[in-house]
Structure 1
Amino acid sequence: MKTNKITQAIGALAILGMSVPAVAADQTGWFIGGSGGRAHATIAEKEIIADLLAAGFETTDFSTDRKDFGYKLFAGYQFNPKFAIEAGYFDLGTFDYTATTDPSGSKFGTLSFSGWNLDFVGTMPLTERAALIGRFGVHEGKTNTNFVGTGAVNVLTPHYQSKDFDFKIGVGYQYQISDSWTFRLEAERFRMDDAVGNAGDIDLFSMGVIYRFGARKHAPVAAPAPAPAPTPAPAPPVAATEQYCSALEMQFEIGQDSVERVNREHIQVLATFMTTYPTTKAIIQGHTDNVGTIEDNQALSEQRAQRVVDFLIREHRIAASRLSAVGYGETRPTASNSTVEGQQANRRINAVIDCANDMAGLSTLPARTTLAMALEFDANSATVDAKYHHQLENVAKYLHANPDLIVTLEGHTDNANPAMAQAISEQRAQNVADYLVNHFRVDRSRLNVEGFGATRRDTYNITASHRQDNRRVNIILGYPK
């Protein structure tokens, strides 16, 4: 046997990992699995021909069957999301060759290879469900080699067998189908001894599945509890004590806990209500989607709720004694986490406040109108698409009609080019500002331009359309403070 390169297979698997829609598995514990596919060996043709020539035979024809079905069965333990150990049994099949000689005769040989292996497996997440894996291990392989001679070729020892320890390596791609099941594609190389003095390799290209024991199940999606209607106002108005009178709905970008500019108007509504009714209290509730570990999501939900509390105290002078922050992690979804839209809906803040009889405070103040729109861009492009020209004209008209308004242009991008992300996000926002100035004579001093690179995602960059959603400029209009 001789080495047979698997570079093309490694490259193909890497490309597949980058392009297949993809939560990297966060389970730990025991798992079992199996896979099967094509095994390929390179017959040591030159060595065999040289051996026949040394015995007085010239080889006139040499044919081989280098492929067979191979499989492996294994069990393992996942120590953390990036490291596991696997042990199992493999059978790589049988390979053969036929050498036709002069003087007239032939030599027929077969080789079969099986054994036990122990591998260390590393995982590199690509997306929330997809990951590349790499393995390095050792195996105890058993090789059976048989020879048959015809005509002038006489085989003195028709059977050889060897058992030896050697190493193996591999790369692969895996996709988490569910909490318990994971699909794998792999390319592996087994170093082996063919029992007659030739060392070489057998490659196995396989697909299979693994089953994880005790994988945690995400909490079932629960419908949100309807909010009771506010208590009708008696005369004179008196603040009531019943809760769930108002809910503040505020969504977050992926992995973020900061209060974005576009959400500050919603908080202003809550602040107005609490200022109007100084005896009311509010519980700020933080929630997440189910991406990531339970512990991380719990911490993130608490951070989000606390950020809103801090913002109300700092910016709106609401007494800290009237506010409390609670995080529920991923335990209270309002939509299905199986879709990107559902995940986005679950990354939210709710505010539960005491009821008051006069609900006027829940209307946005007329002097603080905030509008928002998003312009999408092609990959690595900062050109303002013509389809947005009419909308930008409407924005300009609105600005001319409301001379006290200011505009913030927030540029964003996907994760396709980290080196250019910040620059291209700033350029996108700047190009929108230039368009408003050059085409509609908007005063540049009213335009604030900011770039955030790929740090603020609306979606998980899974598909082309999701990446398109993240390549955007948000236009936020509001009055200066």
Structure 2
Amino acid sequence: MKGFTKIATAVAAALSAVMVLPAAAQDAQDRQEAHGDFYIGANSGFGWLDTDRVAIMDGQVREYEGGTDVFLMGLEAGYRIFDNWELRVSYTDLAADVDDFGSSANGESYGGDLIYNMSPNFYTGLGITRVKLGGYDTKFYKGTFGYRNFIDNNWAFRWEANLQQNETNLTEVMTTVGLQYFFGSTGQETKPTPAPQRAQPRPAPQPAAAPVDSDNDGVPNSRDACPNTPATYSVDEEGCVIYTNETLTETLLVEFEINSSQIRSGATSDIRDMADFMKEHPQLDIVIEGHTDYTGDDDYNQWLSERRAEAVANSLVNNFGIARSRVSSKGYGEQRPKVEGTSAEARQTNRRIEAKLSVTNRVPVIED
């Protein structure tokens, strides 16, 4: 019952911590894709020691007070090695209350964890920690459950509960809250909307004493509103060039392997073609849209589609020289399948990013 009571207490603390998060945390979820891969952090909390644990104080064996009898302050550093896996190391100072004793037992712990991000906010992990406290040096195996929410592109709040047990069945529970700072933010700035340009007035027609057609367009100068038009261009009754609209379109489609946001080597030429099109038309911006197939959890698919869109956006910027302010990305998860069906071919088609740019140019009509 002792281990069960500690686990139940930790779960209750976890629910309380999640319920008191500010409403603004929902807005931070849109920034999850902007964080970097390396982070450092600081944390503080408390814990419950096993009732069988004792301390050696002034040469005597003493028991701890019980309850929330240990206070924690620590530092940590982590690195994301894959899309949803990360490694973390930590160091913690400990102070535990000793029963009927005038001072606390001080100590330290350090260890490492392998963390798995189940969703953009929740994670779990396994690790090993070494605790030096009250004259004893003990190795524990540790299980972790935590919640992380990004405040902005670099700073994140996290809450965490740890259950640790050694080979002699000492079972202890710790809970902490902390702040983490992520290096290498990839957040994008919003490009301001340019002010509309004022239309240039047409030049006044040149007066002529006699019906003279100086530019040989078939309209005399007396009513030619657009003098000096090229002879090969078709003109209207006022002598101005007749234009037609010509639309140019460039489409980008990149497919991905299942559960992967890594761009296939064969897709590089398609991304280069889109980059060349954007360089030819610098007035255009692009939105990269990421999609997944229907397999997997909704939250995971949403997160994976955002990573895919971000991968292609970063390739345009980092590999082909497109300005960051012209490129943005958005994930739709499994909400917008390209084809219906459950076959392997249909799922492959739906694991993709898409982007489409069109530009309409006014071109003069050439006379036959």
TM-score, length basis structure 2: 0.51
Residues 84-99 of structure 1 mapped to structure 2, 5 A cutoff? 84-98=86-100
Q: How far apart, in 1, do the equivalents of 2:314 and 2:284 lie?
A: 12
Other-structure match for 1:186: 160
- Is residue 79 of structure 1 aligned with residue 81 of structure 2? yes
CA drift at 1:33: 0.9
Residues 304-383 of structure 1 mapped to structure 2, 5 A cutoff? 331-332=325-326, 351-355=358-362
Q: How far apart, in 2, do the equivalents of 1:228 and 1:357 lie?
A: 22
Contact map agreement 1:171 1:187 (CA 8 A) in 2: yes
Q: How far apart, in 1, do the equivalents of 2:21 and 2:283 lie?
A: 40
CA drift at 1:228: 6.1
Other-structure match for 2:40: 32
* Partner of residue 223 from structure 1, selected from 159, 169, 193: 193
Q: How far apart, in 1, do the equivalents of 2:104 and 2:52 lie?
A: 12
Unaligned regions of 5+ residues in structure 1, if any? 49-61, 99-106, 145-160, 249-281, 301-326, 338-346, 359-481
Q: How far apart, in 2, do the equivalents of 1:140 and 1:44 lie?
A: 18
Deviations 1:393-430 (A, max 9, x none): xxxxxxxxxxxxxxxxxxxxxxxxxxxxxxxxxxxxxx
Cα distance change of structure 1 residues 64 and 10 upon mapping to structure 2, 3 Å threshold: closer
CA drift at 1:120: 0.7
Contact map agreement 1:286 1:349 (CA 8 A) in 2: no
* Partner of residue 131 from structure 2, selected from 117, 127, 141: 141
CA drift at 1:143: 2.5
Cα distance change of structure 1 residues 225 and 81 upon mapping to structure 2, 3 Å threshold: farther
CA drift at 1:177: 1.9
Cα distance change of structure 1 residues 13 and 73 upon mapping to structure 2, 3 Å threshold: same
1:37 aligned counterpart, secondary structure? strand
Residues 453-464 of structure 1 mapped to structure 2, 5 A cutoff? none
Other-structure match for 2:297: none
Cα distance change of structure 1 residues 201 and 72 upon mapping to structure 2, 3 Å threshold: farther
Other-structure match for 1:287: 286
1:125 aligned counterpart, secondary structure? coil
CA drift at 1:236: 3.3
Q: How far apart, in 1, do the equivalents of 2:191 and 2:137 lie?
A: 54
In structure 2, give the amino acid aligned to 1:7: V
- Is residue 122 of structure 1 aligned with residue 116 of structure 2? yes
Q: How far apart, in 2, do the equivalents of 1:84 and 1:356 lie?
A: 55
Unaligned regions of 5+ residues in structure 2, if any? 56-63, 203-224, 227-237, 250-280, 290-305, 331-353
Cα distance change of structure 1 residues 190 and 25 upon mapping to structure 2, 3 Å threshold: farther
* Partner of residue 238 from structure 1, selected from 229, 236, 241: 241
CA drift at 1:71: 1.8
Q: Count the aligned residue pairs.
A: 242
The CA RMSD over aligned residues, in Å, is: 5.0
Q: How far apart, in 2, do the equivalents of 1:188 and 1:117 lie?
A: 13
2:325 aligned counterpart, secondary structure? coil
1:331 aligned counterpart, secondary structure? helix
- Is residue 163 of structure 1 aligned with residue 166 of structure 2? no
1:178 aligned counterpart, secondary structure? coil
Q: How far apart, in 1, do the equivalents of 2:326 and 2:201 lie?
A: 26
Other-structure match for 2:49: 41
CA drift at 1:37: 1.8
1:295 aligned counterpart, secondary structure? helix
Other-structure match for 1:7: 11
Other-structure match for 2:312: 296
CA drift at 1:239: 3.8
1:206 aligned counterpart, secondary structure? strand
CA drift at 1:83: 1.1
Other-structure match for 1:417: none
Contact map agreement 1:27 1:80 (CA 8 A) in 2: no
In structure 2, give the amino acid aligned to 1:287: I
Contact map agreement 2:98 2:105 (CA 8 A) in 1: yes
CA drift at 1:121: 1.1
TM-score, length basis structure 1: 0.40
In structure 2, give the amino acid aligned to 1:201: T
